[in-house]
Structure 1
Amino acid sequence: MRANTAEKWLEERIRKYGPISKLSLFGKPTVFVYGQAANKFVYTSDSSTIGHQQNQSFRMILGDRNLFDLSAEDHKRVRGALVSFLKPESLKHYVGKMDGEVKQHLEMHWQGKQQVQVLPLMKTLTFNIICSLLFGVERGARREKFKACFKEMIVGTWSAPLNLPFTRYNRSLRASATAQNMIKDLIREKRVELEQKGASHQDLITCLLSIRKEDNEEALTEIEIVHNVMLVMIAGHDTSSVLMTFIMRLLANEPAVYAAVLQEQEEIAKTKPSGEFLTWEDLTKMKYTWRVAMETLRMVPPGFGGFRKALKDIEYGGYLIPKGWQIFWAMPMTHMDSNIFPEPSKFDPSRFENKASVPPYSFVPFGGGPRICPGYEFTRIETLVTIHYLVTQFTWKLCADNSFSRDPMPVPTQGLPVKLVPRKLC
């Protein structure tokens, strides 16, 4: 992963053994599956047949009641609770708040700078958006403490689960315990607010606390809220920051695409009085910009792959997958398959002009089927608002080569340093 040769390694396995083969990963017997049929098999299989299977470090740091480790009715119940906040009908009311966070971030960290490192700044931005919109934690000492815990926690999610002093895993476990206690404090505060002021869906935690059985939904336990808030922290932070970083990298290398994005965004900017926030209607006009984001996700998906667990003996592809074995698949494999996407190394947003032209279960950065990522719409809004202000306020030039590694998310060389020029000076 760190040498960014994992795809080549898997391609070699496919050439040798075909689209299904066995190996050992994280000390467990594992089946690697590849192709559209494999993706469909993973994403649509009944929850009594295949369950989520995260590595031990991820599960211990986030907690075992997070959505990725639940199956059957528990998965459906918790997912439904998260979707109640993350669905478009709810999120359209938060575009203005996200707009304000992006503007404030650019003013603090980008304006007046000649050179910046994009990835660390994008991580700062996405973390601040998460704190504001999902937790209701505004700028200040509490948010800074959250940030310090979060940084320490996230580095151990893919580490070897050796709980010894001074190991990465041990430090992450301790940071996780601190973060979970902070979330419990938030839950207690918001529960008191709910009792005093009534139901309100102003942030994710409040929304989850508001779910009552009279709404025909079963309330989440406190530990379920804590573990799933932890999950949303990591999922929303890493994926969005990586996506926006690589959009900037690709736009710097593709002048024609940059010009088309700029034209689309300038037309929207012209309709906005000075200082006015973007709206949901503005985002619906950013069709080309989102196609650029989709093509970026095709070429550099933030997640490399995932794990499931066979809950019983499964017949697949003429083979028996024994109960208890891990099932592993990798997202980039179908994304870069020339039989699915002609000239896969070419950056071409027009691939996504027509949904029908993309074969089912071949483009899976957000998963697919009943387990598609509930944060898809949140990521779309966050990305479009950020790219709008970046391209209308700046032009940039890369200061390092185009290489990147995975740890496990894609990390561009030196965090993608760029030379910035304000557009009014261009």
Structure 2
Amino acid sequence: MELDRLGSEKLVKERMQKYSRDAFKTSLFGEKIAVLCGAQGNKFIFKNQNELFARWSLPSLAKAIYPDLERTRCQEPKASFDNFQYDILKPDALKKYVPVMDSLAREHLETEWRVVEALPSTKKYALSLACMIFMNRGDLDHSGDFLKSLSLLTKGILSLPVNLPGTTLNRAVGGGRVVRRELLRIVQERRAAESEGEDLLSKMVVATNQDGEYMSDSTIVNVFIGLLIGAEYELSSLITNVIYYLAELPHIYHQVFEEQMEIAKSKGPNELLAMEDLEKMKYTWNVVRECMRLTPPSIGGISESIAEFTYAGFTIPKGWKVLWTPHSSHMNSNYFPEPEKFDPLRFEGSGPEPYTYVPFGGGPRMCPGRNYVRLVVLVFTHNLVKRFRLEKVIPNEKMVFSVSPAPASGLPLRVHPH
């Protein structure tokens, strides 16, 4: 299958061919950026986080999403940031949510999937699930102001940092105010309730550092905005892209279907999935991994160099931004033979070499939600293929990139019940 490559991948490939397979410099968002390529580039950046590199936020992101980010970083107890271990996102804690994920996936596919456009539908599902699991809230208005405001906010993340009336960033800032106001209300409501709960919000409102200092409401809101944006865009993008490949490749769909039906036959008529069932979905997970190799959920990560350093013969000044990108290793034939080919079997056995496969990043800043993503995608895929055979309405629909990669027309589908 020949894919229309995303613009970000094309840029990386062309620059590597023109300048160097190890590193090149470019300009993005008005910043000088050094792009370190391949497994060695990934390893260098991941290994030197906090030593050579500091966190850096896009100016548009900071303006739209975290207007008080720098202030709260200076004032917050350390427990608010790197030392706060998202306990709810660890495998042992997540396993009790598998039945919740299964129940919501069943309900969603039963009520929403008649004539369907996959991307908007998976956005709604991913956001609803995140609100339920992280905040124990199933009552947010996902079709009204909150969802519209969240969409405006997210669309401004990669926009030019020009906050004038009518610009994308200006609309994002307005959307961010609505989202922050609603989340702040929820945080304050939870604090006032003084009731213990197992969801992430309940844990965060009582979390303290060694001096007994609580996180501020604003910091908690910052965390939840990041989680909701990740759910609405990166997670929904991944689910949609898995559906895209399953509809595109009948032989892959058939093998996933066979695996999932074996699991379904082992369950009672109304018995929900458990973690043990997900551990059996080995081929399905390899399919998801191959989807993330070919179409990574993000373009990578940008840090700021806090000291001058030399890499592959290039000297990178202090203050430059440094980017790792999955495209430079995921599509490298030295790491993945026939990289354009969709082949889940490449993940069998010991799998890819270290630092070649990086959909979730690596090092101390590896995506903390990677275990959550795995469970959500597997549960959704199980329910989807068990219920429907899939047919793309637009056979050659292209992939495009806005905030995350997605089919250009939202992936309209014909779904055929078994």
Note whether the superposition's TM-score is higher than 0.5. Answer: yes
Q: 1:87 Cα deviation (Å)?
A: 0.8
Cα RMSD for the two superposed structures: 2.4
Give the equivalent residue in structure 1 for 2:371. 377
Give the equivalent residue in structure 1 for 2:201. 205
Unpaired runs of 5+ residues, structure 1, are none
Partners of 1:76 and 1:289 in 2: how far apart?
A: 37
Letter in structure 1 aligned against 2:192: V
Structure-2-length-normalised TM-score: 0.92
Relative to structure 1, is the Cα distance of residues 406 and 277 closer, same or farther in structure 2, using a 3 angstrom cutoff?
same
The answer as to whether partners of 2:180 and 2:221 remain within 8 angstroms in 1 is yes
Tell me the alpha carbon deviations over residues 171-206 of structure 1, each in whole angstroms, 9 at most, x when there is no partner: 110111121111111111111222xx3x322x2211
**Which of the numbers 261, 270, 273 marks the counterpart of 2:268?**
273
Whether 1:13 aligns to 2:15 is yes
Q: 1:387 Cα deviation (Å)?
A: 0.4
Between 134-143 and 116-125, report the one with greater CA deviation: 134-143
Whether 1:187 aligns to 2:182 is no
Whether 1:85 aligns to 2:88 is yes
Give the equivalent residue in structure 1 for 2:334. 339
**Which of the numbers 321, 329, 333 marks the counterpart of 1:326?**
321
SS in 2 for 1:220: coil
Give the equivalent residue in structure 2 for 1:390. 384
Partners of 1:28 and 1:249 in 2: how far apart?
A: 34
Tell me the alpha carbon deviations over residues 143-198 of structure 1, each in whole angstroms, 9 at most, x when there is no partner: 8442222122111111111111121111110111121111111111111222xx3x
The answer as to whether partners of 1:61 and 1:172 remain within 8 angstroms in 2 is yes
Partners of 1:217 and 1:295 in 2: how far apart?
A: 45
The answer as to whether partners of 2:77 and 2:213 remain within 8 angstroms in 1 is no
Equivalent positions of 1:107-126 (< 5 A) are 107-110=110-113, 113=114, 115-126=115-126
Q: 1:318 Cα deviation (Å)?
A: 2.2
Equivalent positions of 1:31-42 (< 5 A) are 31-42=34-45
The answer as to whether partners of 2:309 and 2:315 remain within 8 angstroms in 1 is yes
Whose helix proportion is higher, 1 or 2? 1
Letter in structure 1 aligned against 2:392: L
Partners of 2:150 and 2:59 in 1: how far apart?
A: 18
The answer as to whether partners of 1:4 and 1:406 remain within 8 angstroms in 2 is yes
The answer as to whether partners of 1:33 and 1:327 remain within 8 angstroms in 2 is yes
Give the equivalent residue in structure 2 for 1:228. 223
Equivalent positions of 1:173-322 (< 5 A) are 173-194=173-194, 197=195, 199-201=196-198, 203-213=199-209, 219-322=214-317
The answer as to whether partners of 2:25 and 2:35 remain within 8 angstroms in 1 is yes
Partners of 1:103 and 1:184 in 2: how far apart?
A: 31
Q: 1:336 Cα deviation (Å)?
A: 0.7
Whether 1:359 aligns to 2:356 is no
Whether 1:106 aligns to 2:109 is yes
Partners of 1:218 and 1:311 in 2: how far apart?
A: 29
Structure-1-length-normalised TM-score: 0.90
Q: How many residues align?
A: 411
Q: 1:33 Cα deviation (Å)?
A: 1.5
Give the equivalent residue in structure 2 for 1:161. 161
The answer as to whether partners of 1:52 and 1:70 remain within 8 angstroms in 2 is no
Partners of 1:328 and 1:250 in 2: how far apart?
A: 28
